[in-house]
Amino acid sequence: MKGRERIHGPALLHEGPRKDSRPSDSGLCVTLAQEDREGIHGPAVQRLPIAIEIRMAWKTIDRTTPVVDADAPPVLSDGVRDKIRSFFVRYETKRAVLLPALHVVQHALGHISWQAMAEIAEILEIPPSDVMDTVSFYTHFWTHPKGKKVITVCRSLSCELMGGADMLDTLKKKLNITEHETTTDGRYSLVTEECLAGCDHAPCLLVNEKLHKRVQPADVDKLLADDSNDRVTMPRSDLFDPPHETSESPNGADEA
């Protein structure tokens, strides 16, 4: 059950180890948990175990605990707010500043918390639900803290053909985490994504902003040991970066 999200609320009634892995309760559904593991070559497919995961077909909503604590101090600094407002001249509507704002806030805080969403909504004069609607659509936005560096492994066809699955496996073993998890020391989070448009350098991965090309399983150790593995070689534009004074953020800024 490693890596499963916990289900809160009344659904807890059924939590705990199960004796029977084949439920007959009509309220349960069974999903294939087998995920993204198989190599593209024949034999790897054959040796796969079949894993079946059981989960509740519903989730409950807790309406008694406020999502955002109204008394909590603001999470967005004045500098970040000014940075967000600096995008207003570029667009016809304030809502259009949402994506730039989310990039800036994620750079500043490491992730976009409920409270950050509420504060962004206030700046852009839109309902917080609109912010959440957009945040939940895009895969790059984190709604919970992530590691200092995010490793994004490409899993599309060219990379898989060139050994991407083996490379991903090696990474998982070395980091001792699976996809969408963060190492216990908070150094790395691991995610996979569809095509990174680096197919001529397959298999490839990103460490934060830096694209690493033709990464073989044997290269993984060296890659992880390199402290500057997220440093890009060209001059960086700070357009979507928070102002420098925001290094007070509790989760640490994205840029190491």
Partner 1 sequence: MASFEPILLRNRGVENSTSLEVYASRGGYQAVRKVLQRSPADVIEEVKSANLRGRGGAGFPAGVKWSFLPKDRTRTLLCVNADESEPPTFCNRVLIETDPHQLIEGTIIAAYATQSQVAYVYMRGEFHEQFHILQKAIDEAYAAGYLGKNVFGSEFSVECYVHRGAGAYVCGEETGLIESLEGKRGWPRIKPPFPAVEGLFALPTVVNNVETLSCLPHIIERGADWFTGIGPAHSAGPKLFCVSGPVNKPGCYEGAMDITVRDLIERDDMGGGMMDGKEIRAVFPGGISMGVLTADEINMKLDFDDPRNFGLLGLGTAAAVVVDTDTDLRSVLRNIARFYGTESCGQCTQCREGTSWMNKIATRIAMGAGRVEDLDILLETARNMGMMPGLSICGLPDGATFPIETLVKKFRPELEAAILAQEPGRAEAVLNVLN
Enumerate binding residues for partner 1 (CB under 8 A). 22, 30, 32, 34, 36, 38-42, 45-46, 48, 50, 52, 90-93, 95-100, 102-103, 124, 130, 133-134, 137-141, 152, 155-158, 160-162, 193-202, 206, 208-211, 232-237, 239-240
* In the complex, least distance from residue 35 CB atom to partner 1, rounded to whole angstroms: 9
Residue among 12 and 30 whose Cβ is closer to partner 1: 30
* In the complex, least distance from residue 151 CB atom to partner 1, rounded to whole angstroms: 13
Half-sphere exposure of 106 (CA within 13 A, CB side): 21
Q: Which residues contact 124 (CB under 8 A, 6 or more apart)?
A: 84, 94, 95, 97, 98, 101, 131
Residue among 38 and 174 whose Cβ is closer to partner 1: 38
Distance set, CA 69 to CA 6, 75, 187 (Å): 22, 12, 29
Residue among 136 and 184 whose Cβ is closer to partner 1: 136
* In the complex, least distance from residue 69 CB atom to partner 1, rounded to whole angstroms: 26
Question: Residue 53 has what DSSP assignment?
Answer: E
- Which residues on neighbouring strands pair with residue 29, listed in sequence order? 55
Are the C-beta atoms of 176 and 187 separated by less than 8 Å? no
- The CA-to-CA distance between both ends of the chain, in Å, stands at 33
Residue among 198 and 242 whose Cβ is closer to partner 1: 198
* In the complex, least distance from residue 33 CB atom to partner 1, rounded to whole angstroms: 11
